[in-house]
Copies of this chain bind each other. A is one copy, B any other.
Amino acid sequence: MNDNIIQKVRETTPLIHHLTNQVVMNFSANGLLSFGAAPVMAKAEEEAADMASNADGLLLNIGTLTAQELPSMIQAGKAANEKGIPVVLDPVGVAATPFRTTAVKNILDEVQPTVIKGNAGELAHLVEIPWETKGVESIGDGNADKIASKVAEMYQTTAIVTGKTDVICMDGATLHNDSGHSFLSKITGAGCLLGSVLTACLTTNEAIGQQALTAAEFYGLAAEHAAKRSDVNGPGTFLPRFIDALSLDPAELERK
């Protein structure tokens, strides 16, 4: 982890525009505020591009996408590309229905993501590697390194395959992160909020591999730290402690 990246986020409070799913909006906003960046979530087609142009980073998450919202994502993405700010695409459940598959294809036809992040099943689908999915969840094991590598190559982007070990791949290089906690799989939106934290880290002037690795490692350490609090007895009590932990210094998290 590169502590400078965390520090820079907190010094600059980057504004991260979210076109994200309705299930996680509150959690993502609170988590990102605690981390030290500023969320905005403006979904109207009439303003999605304007808001992206005012922002420092853009997160596109298709978790509860409707046909009406797709143009907002594309216009915000194009505005972000034009301005040169980072764009993170989280293709939630892309393999689950033809609607999602087509929507992600439409986005990728018009928007160049800085990072594509998702679980193994989602990213496998983007490069036509067979994978079993259930709803928006990915199940089973597979070669995450290969999936990440193919996504990075095919979409000329940085790819992050999240899982017990997160795999980050760009320009032929591969990085791994093992921090994290099983509670993250028992709360909704853990992957979505990682997308927010990642977008914030991408606004700093550092190498993209370090930014992605720092986001993933910090996030997982925050989960480990929260899970160790004495009053955490399940996913419900984990949540407030996790939000708290996202505000801590990396050094505090490493001590646990």
Contact = CB atoms under 8 A, between A and B. Distances in A.
Nearest to A72: B66
B51 A15 contact: no
Interface stretch (A29-37, A115-123, A149-157, A162-170): A29-37
A234 interface: yes
A47 B236 CA distance: 30
The CB with the most chain B CB atoms within 10 A, among A42, A233, A241, A242, is that of A42
Interface string A18-52: 00011111110110011000111111111100110
Interface string A86-98: 0000000100111
B239 A233 contact: no
A145 interface: no
List the 7 closest A-B pairs by CB distance, nearest first. A236-B243, A234-B244, A29-B188, A40-B135, A236-B240, A47-B99, A47-B97
Interface of A: 15, 17, 21-27, 29-30, 33-34, 38-47, 50-51, 54-55, 63-68, 93, 96-100, 134-137, 186-189, 231, 233-237, 239-248
